[in-house]
């Protein structure tokens, strides 16, 4: 990550999962508090980046973009490319899929914030995001969420249905959309017209399925350039 730790124990804590803290070692703190802090710092950095990059886009678009960039799936991929699992303390089996590596990324960001301050942390995070993601591709995906969801349903022989209703009247009129997959509501959205409400609902469905199923539609951002070339994690003190 191009950073030399100043407070090494802080980064060791960031890489220590709660499962590694045994009853006989209560003096060793786990990384949950740093994860909490790192999550907030990451949201702030990504929020500022998107706010500056897209000065004319609304809150809904910015929220969806941020959700994709900081999703647990993406953070797990980033953790793997950085080699975080090789230097983590954890008693969990690495063979099963979990959010532990991605959580450690957030914990490291929290440690970095305490150790180096916001501006240094921001520089590192923005560099990783810009090299790991193609924002143009992520933006295209946001525009065509409904089509991708319908295509996903056709390939898996699942019935995908959008239901839209109008609420309010006059200038206060807006639309509420629901995505039904095999008869079950998997996403809801709203907007000033039917199209935007359906797109919002499609993105909601993607987020819902990512949290429930391992075979949910993959985000385009995952196909971006590898992060390994910017990573220097090698099992040593440098992160």
Residue with tokens 């957030």: 106
* DSSP code for 28: S
Q: CA–CA distance from 58 to each of 105, 192, 196 (Å)? A: 28, 12, 12
- In the chain, which ranges are continuous DSSP H helix? 8-14, 32-53, 59-69, 72-82, 100-116, 118-132, 135-143, 145-155, 194-212
* DSSP code for 144: T
Structure tokens at 187: 């996403």
Of 6, 36, 30, 34, the residue nearest 16 (C-alpha):
30
**Ramachandran sector of residue 110 (left: φ over 0; alpha: ψ -120 to 50; beta: rest):** alpha
Catalytic residue among 30, 35, 106, 142: 106
Rounded to whole angstroms, how far apart are CA atoms 201 and 147? 12
Catalytic residue among 30, 35, 39, 141: 39
In the residue annotation, 43 being an active-site residue is answered as: no
Rg (CA), the chain: 20
In the residue annotation, 39 being an active-site residue is answered as: yes
Rounded to whole angstroms, how far apart are CA atoms 37 and 111? 8
Catalytic residues: 39, 106
């Amino acid at each position: 990550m191009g950073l030399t730790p100043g407070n090494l124990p802080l980064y060791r804590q960031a890489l220590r999962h709660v499962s590694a803290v045994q009853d006989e070692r209560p003096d060793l703190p786990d990384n949950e508090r740093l994860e909490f802090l790192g999550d907030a710092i990451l949201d702030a950095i990504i929020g500022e980046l998107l706010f500056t990059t897209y000065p004319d886009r609304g809150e809904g678009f910015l929220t969806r973009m941020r959700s994709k960039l900081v999703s647990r799936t993406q953070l797990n991929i980033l953790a793997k490319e950085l080699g975080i699992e090789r230097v983590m303390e954890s008693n969990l089996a690495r063979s099963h899929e979990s959010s532990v590596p991605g959580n450690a990324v957030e914990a490291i960001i929290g440690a970095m914030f305490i150790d180096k301050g916001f501006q240094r942390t921001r520089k590192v995070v923005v560099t990783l995001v810009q090299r790991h993601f193609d924002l143009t591709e992520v933006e295209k995906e946001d525009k065509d969420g409904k089509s991708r969801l319908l295509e996903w349903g056709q390939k898996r022989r699942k019935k995908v249905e959008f239901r839209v209703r109008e609420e309010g009247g006059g200038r206060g009129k807006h639309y509420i959309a629901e995505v039904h997959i095999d008869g079950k509501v998997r996403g809801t959205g709203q907007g000033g017209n039917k199209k935007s409400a359906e797109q919002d609902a499609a993105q909601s469905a993607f987020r819902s399925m990512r949290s429930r199923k391992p075979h949910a539609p993959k985000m385009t951002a995952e196909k971006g350039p590898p992060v390994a070339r910017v990573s220097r994690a090698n099992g040593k003190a440098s992160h």
